[in-house]
Amino acid sequence: MNTLTATATDTDKGTRLDRFLSEALPELSRSRAKTLIKEGAVSLNGKTADDPKAGVSPGDTYTLNMPDPVPATPEPEDIPLDILFEDEHLILVNKPSGMAVHPAPGSWQGTLVNALLHHCAGELPGIGGVERPGIVHRIDKGTTGVLVVAKTEPAHAGLSKLFKTHDIDRTYLAITRGAPRPLVGTVDMRIARSTSDRKKMAVIRDEESGDGRHAVTHYKARETFGELDKGVGLPAAALIECRLETGRTHQIRVHLAHIGAPLIGDPTYGRQRGIKAYGSGEAFIDATTRARQFDRQALHAASLGFVHPVTGEDVFAEAPLPPDMDGLLSALRKI
């Protein structure tokens, strides 16, 4: 058990205890401080201080008995990781397709958390009292690319704040069936759980409705491929760059499908597999076959940039397109 102390000054007068402790002790988030106070881990002058809302007074010295982290429930697994950046506070990895971020029904093993518990063995001081990596955002099991994970409580709190205030620069690449019109634009539409299928998300079409959560996706077509039909002048497929202001569940998949450009291979939001295109010849057959057989949503988290929440340094990481998307692009470029 680790014992920490914090003494209130004149500027802290009247500050809530949980807020004071989280500001005085960088190891703690405010929610973690609140939990520890309620659990009786904080004392003032030998008496338990168990009210998170209580105001502090100048000169008060609080003692916090920080419990040792309990072992995480997921088991460590020796799974190779493609590490893009790592320091004592956080780690950025290039997640492969087919790997879930966190254990869940259907994916209890082989997840990123299992891999990180092995990779970071002995380096996790405890987040929320548990010896575990701090997941602050997720990408779908079938999506590849850059993902950042906290290793310490200060990094977890700082990254969570950055994502909440949208101070994270995130770029995704998607290969779509058809292309959005216009080729450059913004989708600003709220997203909520579908009322017809609880496994799906959907845009809220009623602009006056307060349902769902605010979601904004900026997009632009980097390349377009082939023709939808002879003489119509519409692309059969496109490579789309997306930048997120928000990070809602399935946001890019839902937004692009809504504007008529679903992701190739998307099993949930793509109405049919592959692409509709005009043409003939071996290159055409190869491209359309690859698109039809693509077995996941063609989406890749290409880059992630932010100001390090602990050191203040700029952090930026890029992940190259995975082989399956790269191969699909190469084929599409020939039609």
Catalytically active residues, by annotation: 140
Give the residue among 37, 136, 30, 38 at the shortest CA–CA distance from 89.
136
Structure-token match 């809530």, residue found: 16
Distance, in Å, from the CA atom of 263 to the CA atom of 179, rounded to the nearest integer, reads: 10
Angle at CA 164, nearest 5°, toward 163 and 167?
Answer: 50
Give the residue among 320, 15, 304, 303 at the shortest CA–CA distance from 159.
304
3-state secondary structure of 173: strand
Angle at CA 49, nearest 5°, toward 44 and 28?
Answer: 90
Distance, in Å, from the CA atom of 130 to the CA atom of 227, rounded to the nearest integer, reads: 54
DSSP secondary structure string for all residues of 28-64: --HHHHHHHHHTT-EEETTEE---TTPBP-TT-EEEE
